[in-house]
A and B are shown apart, each in its own frame.
Chain A
């Protein structure tokens, strides 16, 4: 079956913007999520967007949703070293019941 696709790695300098991209599987997914996992820690819900929205902004985070292309992105403004982590895109496809389907994660490395 189709997978939620993300690029595996992204490296940026402190102060730059980071953009993490994701392609999801089901155009009828109601909610789409971004989770953050720091080394040795669990998954922290960063933000989520409802499918009838194109954009959601929350402080330094901006989520863009393109339903036609099934494309989701997370932009982190003024990236800090503390933002270094693995970022997971996730969806709940209608046909999959209630399982959160995750991408394999994008490792963000921020250098000072």
Chain B
């Protein structure tokens, strides 16, 4: 089944403890992206990647890192999480970044930083 898989689905962590949220897609998509969803603010893009080893900042990149060493994986790294990073995170992928055929989203990761 064609899908975007995120792990974990739920995570509670403490301030300052490094964490990684994994994202993997099996559709050979070139484009991958991370969004966060917050009440009243909708979905905002954190980082995106046009292809392997090509990443760029979205609207809200502060406090996050990403890497794209392989086409299928695009992990989101929080080096020193803070409570304002408590949010629902979505990974998305697409054949290209231009939007034809749409974006496929993962099921989400709900992160709580205490």
Q: What is the interface residue range for chain A against chain B?
A: 20 to 34
Contacts of B106 on A, CB cut-off 8 Å?
42
**How far does the alpha carbon of A44 sit from the alpha carbon of B106 in the complex, in Å?**
9
Is B105 in contact with A31, judged by CB distance below 8 angstroms?
no
Residue of B33, B42, B56, B100 near A31 (CB, 8 A) is B100
How long is the Cα–Cα vector from A41 to B106 in the complex, in angstroms? Answer: 9
Q: Which of B45, B97, B107 contacts A42 (CB 8 A)?
A: B107
How extensive is the interface on chain B, given as a class?
20 to 34
Q: Which residues of B contact A104 (CB under 8 A)?
A: 40-42
B90–A42 touching, CB < 8 Å: yes
Q: Do the beta carbons of B98 and A99 come within 8 Å of each other?
A: no
CB distance from A89 to the nearest CB of B (A): 10
| B74-105 CB contacts (< 8 Å) to partner A | 90, 92, 97-100, 102-105
